[in-house]
Amino acid sequence: MSIDVTVPALGESITEATVGEWLKQPGDAVAADEPVASLETDKVSIEVPAPAAGVMGEHAVAEGDTVEVGALIATIDTDGKAAPKAAPAAEKTAAPAPAPAPTEAPSGEVPTLSPAVRRLVLEHGVDPTKIKGTGRDGRLTKEDVLAAANNKGADTAPAPAVAVSGTAAPGREVERVRMTRIRQTIAKRLKSAQDNAALLTTFNDVDMTAVMETRAKYKDLFEKKHGVRLGFMGFFAKAACMALKDVPAVNAQIEGDEIIYHNYADISVAVSAPNGLVVPVIRNAESMSFADIENTIGDFGKRAKAGTLKMEEMQGGTFTISNGGVFGSLMSTPIINPPQSAVLGLHRIDKRPVVMPDGSIAARPMMYLALSYDHRLIDGKEAVTFLVRIKEAIEDPARLLIDL
């Protein structure tokens, strides 16, 4: 019996995706719920599970194709048997079955390559412009590249390590890589923020001594009790919740000619994913404990790397915290995440000379803070006040316990 493999629901308002890579080829054995393909949406990569166990049938779409929710992308034969592994090219004696006449890219023109095919081209050093594609619309498949690699000197010519223009001089090669859907969306949203908001950034610095001493004193007990490390983000998230309560405009957004104020703090935290930064949301952070916040952030980080974050987990934030310090950033001007109106940027901690209240000079662990905001909604006084509230809470963490 043949079972259809279709594009699953992708999340609210997401209607299409791009086929990133086929994880199973026709003839491969497939277990129920085993991933058979990966899809790239505007925000995350999603794996398509097999609806039943069996043998992978023909692909209905190619890598790089755009598909809509519910579209047929392949079939699975639940009664079939996996095809035997292909013999090495030198041992093959039977002629291949007739196939549609493949097409070849015009001389010097680099064909469009899927990520998986591009990796094979670079790995085997073949010239994609010299390979005949047997995929849909003449596209190169992984099998085409592998066959060309096994027959270099017959159907293909030696190629440079990357796809290049036919007139490129040695040492001046260029590689053309199609932007992923996620990267395209990031580019559009960042440009939209610059075009539509009156962006401004204000700075302050904060002495991290008290927080660092608190972490050093309680980190072992905290981890033993809650099963998670006590990090800096918990302190800043709690401080941000208090500051947002004091300066509600920073937690608001513009919609048409109205301002929407939120009486809750849904804080987006920027975490690294294979295809770029994603911003999952800590819902109702104002009512969460340090342990809850740290557990949530840790879970987001793991699932971002695995590509298993859900679409709904990255929608609806009211304010963003981005920690460039983990990459070594000293100072930056972060860009807001529309429709939010502000983003707090954290940076690396450096020991710097500071004049103490008694006039002495001491080396203190200092961090620069940056608040980028939409000046259409947030005044300079409000932005400065917000950063001062953050600074006060971090330099005196007891304020976080007694809500000062």
Please give the positions annotated as active site: 375, 379
Sign of CA dihedral 61, 64, 66, 68: positive
For residue 33, give both structure tokens: 């719920």
Cross-strand bridge partners of residue 195: none
Q: Choose among 143, 182, 177, 202: nearest CA to 386.
A: 202
Give the separation between CA 10 and CA 15, rounded to whole angstroms. Answer: 7
Residues in the chain, total: 404
Contact 233, 268 (CB under 8 A): no
Give the separation between CA 201 and CA 383, rounded to whole angstroms. Answer: 9
Which stretches does DSSP call E strand in 105-193? 132-133
Q: How far is CA 61 from CA 3, 18, 23, in A?
A: 16, 10, 13
> What is the CA angle 161-163-165, rounded to 5?
120
Residue 374, amino acid = D
Contact 244, 267 (CB under 8 A): no
Residue 300's CB is within 10 A of a number of other CB atoms, namely 22
Q: How far is CA 285 from CA 263, 292, 311, 317, 396, in A?
A: 11, 9, 19, 11, 20
Identify the H or E element spanning 206.
Answer: strand 199-207
For residue 166, give both structure tokens: 């036919």
Q: Choose among 163, 165, 190, 166: nearest CA to 178.
A: 163
